[in-house]
Structure 1
Amino acid sequence: MAWNTARTRQLLLDAAIDEFAEYGPEAARLDRIAATAGVNKERIYQYFGNKEQLFGAVLSWSLERLAEAVPLEGPLAANLPEYAGRVFDYHREHPQFIRLLYWEGLHRGGDPIAAREERAKRYADKLAALAAAQKKGAVPSEFAPGELLYAVIALAGWWYATPPLAQMIMGDDVENARETLVRVVAKLVS
């Protein structure tokens, strides 16, 4: 029987996302990832290298999933409130990504960024789309594309980064939170 490398890699990535989101890069266990994936632990080393490299691959793959699900290009680059709402929706369905970013910040601090070049490319594409929208006059130029993108990402993700705080301040109505986010971003770019 032939080994399905792509399927095995995907099983490991899926298991690693949940493991790293739950325990962080320091406490995550490769044996749990392998067991959850139903794959021999040695495949992790074969496909990804060490735990740090696997964490970088998880971050890159998670960012790629978000970029595919909510692309910031063309008409959506000109409609940042709608983009923010869609990012909010994505985080509601996939809360692991925000957790992964927070674990990275907590445990890596000033250390080199995992898979920096790969991940930076995704953001560079978004920045280029925002710059093009600004050039066309669809998005105000008061803020640089990086300032706008960072603000929108922070606003959309913070709801899921600190759920207790969001509930205490905004209540339990997630739909109201989404509408508020869209209104805030609309005001930011008006």
Structure 2
Amino acid sequence: MSYDSAATRARLLEAAYREFAERGLAGARVDRIAAAAQANKQAIYAYFGSKENLFDAMLAERLSVLSDTVPFDPDDLPGYAGALFDALNATPELLRLTNWRALERNDTGPGWVESHTAKAKELRAAMGLRDEATAIDILEIVIAVSSAWVSVPSELRTVGSEDPDKRQHAHRAVVVAAVTAIRDALTND
């Protein structure tokens, strides 16, 4: 039987995704990741060098998938916010991972600065903003508004409605309206 290093690496990243999302960087165990990936611990160190590097590689891969799933459209910020809301609600583990990273590390993840800077440049041009710092602030607000629903306890998601899907749809509409109001306030000075 031949060894498929790409398949092993992919299994390690998938197992790491589940382990880190559940337990965070500090609580995750390399032994559990290796066992879940049907690999040995040494494979983690051979491919990634450390548990922290595995976390970074896994998170970068997942954020890349999110970026592909929800392409940034600076000309339709409310649409982007709604699509981001949908994607994050479909994968709440991703938001949990970014929260773990923020709690357990004091640096930015690989590619984060470059990604936000590129989006800020596009947003600055599309909205006619004076500087990229303002555009980055707007992006952070859009991300915060779009992701807030994911962290709402499930008991609160049904308040005012017996249908959770209907309530989620209503919340999405609020996200889109909020981002529309932000965009309009900033462009109608």
Q: Could you tell me the TM-score, scaled by structure 2's length?
A: 0.85
- Once the 2 structures are TM-superposed, how far is the Cα of residue 53 of structure 1 from its aligned partner? 1.1
Deviations 1:71-93 (A, max 9, x none): 11xxx211111000000111111
Q: Which protein, 1 or 2, shows the higher relative CO under an 8 Å CA cutoff with sep ≥ 6?
A: 1
Does structure 2 conserve the Cα–Cα contact (< 8 Å) formed by 1:67 and 1:122? no
Residues 61, 150 of structure 1: CA spacing in aligned structure 2 closer, same or farther, 3 A cutoff? Answer: same
Does structure 1 conserve the Cα–Cα contact (< 8 Å) formed by 2:30 and 2:41? yes
Pick from 183, 186, 190 the counterpart of residue 180 of structure 2: 186
Aligned to 2:74: 77
Q: What RMSD, in angstroms, separates the aligned Cα atoms of the two structures?
A: 2.3
Q: Aligned pair 1:163/2:156, yes or no?
A: no
Runs of 5+ in structure 1 lacking a partner? none
- Identity across aligned pairs (percent)? 36
Secondary structure of 1:71's match? coil
- Once the 2 structures are TM-superposed, how far is the Cα of residue 26 of structure 1 from its aligned partner? 0.5
How many aligned residue pairs are there? 179
* Runs of 4 or more above 6 Å deviation: 140-143
Partners of 1:19 and 1:71 in 2: how far apart? 27
Aligned to 1:54: 54
Partners of 2:142 and 2:53 in 1: how far apart? 28
Aligned to 2:170: 176
Partners of 2:56 and 2:153 in 1: how far apart? 25
Task: Answer with 123-132 or 90-99: which moved more.
Answer: 123-132
Does structure 1 conserve the Cα–Cα contact (< 8 Å) formed by 2:85 and 2:146? yes
Q: Could you tell me the TM-score, scaled by structure 1's length?
A: 0.84
Deviations 1:29-72 (A, max 9, x none): 11111121122221111111111111111221121111111111
Pick from 122, 136, 142 the counterpart of residue 146 of structure 1: 136
Partners of 2:94 and 2:81 in 1: how far apart? 15
Does structure 1 conserve the Cα–Cα contact (< 8 Å) formed by 2:117 and 2:136? no
Runs of 5+ in structure 2 lacking a partner? 185-189
Residues 156, 37 of structure 1: CA spacing in aligned structure 2 closer, same or farther, 3 A cutoff? Answer: same
